[in-house]
Homo-oligomer: A and B are copies of this chain.
């Protein structure tokens, strides 16, 4: 949840006068998103989301995110659409920050995802991967294993403050990932890279939209799958739910057939994906700014998921019935 920057009504009204979206009726800071400040606007033309990008998002990346949303929508994916101002620009400035207005998506994210939700997100993710196939822009994945040492280095000396032994646990896993033969020949495309339940909206158990492309980048499609398996298919006690994992994978596979290599590499990708969130959460946890209205997410949740993934050499070890996943 986040509202880092507040905006005055007259300032916002002036900003909106450069758009064709009616008169401002109300706006509320909303408790969603942890990287940016988000407001739900009501205007005489309907509902919109205003995002002010805070420091952690590189301004140079914004055209990629905005272009991707436009591309996905014109290829049948329901996601927020950047609204252009009268000059034809989607990216503007408000309160000294890069600012974007996007369309409002109805729907609610599942607080307690079921296997039905997991199937929904599996199918939606595959459709998104396919729809992004001909997007002609790229962005490096700076949260992949090649970057992990650099992420960990400034946090390493304080990791044991979070849990005794955490530093050694991470260092050992990083060494493993370095020597594991991390995949290098998997299908590459645009991945969402942060498709947690709070970024997928449902109406009547059907996916109604995907939001927040702030981490989208160019990488192995199967890394996105690994991120989702870790985010959607564990219970709150960090036990793995194979029913949800199957529902997710079967639904994905029915839209975009997984290759043999993708299936073979999934457990290793899931270890890397768990490490990615363990590291960024650890860094965030150790660096909550004074007075920040953000509850840092628990890094240890991802240490527990990582420990589970360390025990799986094959998706058969997860309990997956692979007969429906034949390539």
Number of copies: 2
What are 20 of the A-B contact pairs (CB < 8 Å)? Answer: A1-B1, A1-B29, A6-B111, A9-B109, A9-B110, A9-B111, A9-B202, A12-B108, A24-B108, A26-B104, A26-B105, A26-B106, A26-B107, A28-B30, A28-B40, A29-B30, A30-B31, A40-B40, A42-B47, A293-B293
Q: Given contacts A1-B293, A28-B31, A291-B295, is CB(A42)–CB(B9) below 8 Å?
A: no
Task: Report chain B residues within 8 Å CB of A110.
Answer: 8-9
Nearest Cβ in chain B — how far from A121, in angstroms? Answer: 14
Q: Given contacts A30-B30, A31-B3, is CB(A108)–CB(B293) below 8 Å?
A: no
Q: Tell me whether A185 is interfacial, beta carbon within 8 Å.
A: no
Q: Tell me whether A203 is interfacial, beta carbon within 8 Å.
A: yes
Task: Report chain B residues within 8 Å CB of A24.
Answer: 108
With an 8 Å Cβ cutoff, the count of chain A residues facing the other chain is 36
Task: Report chain B residues within 8 Å CB of A111.
Answer: 6-9
Task: Report chain B residues within 8 Å CB of A30.
Answer: 28-31, 40
Q: How far is the CA of A1 from the CA of B3 in the complex (A)?
A: 9
Task: Report chain B residues within 8 Å CB of A26.
Answer: 104-108, 201
Nearest Cβ in chain B — how far from A184, in angstroms? Answer: 40
User: Which 3 A-B residue pairs are closest in the complex by CB-CB distance?
Assistant: A29-B31, A9-B108, A8-B111
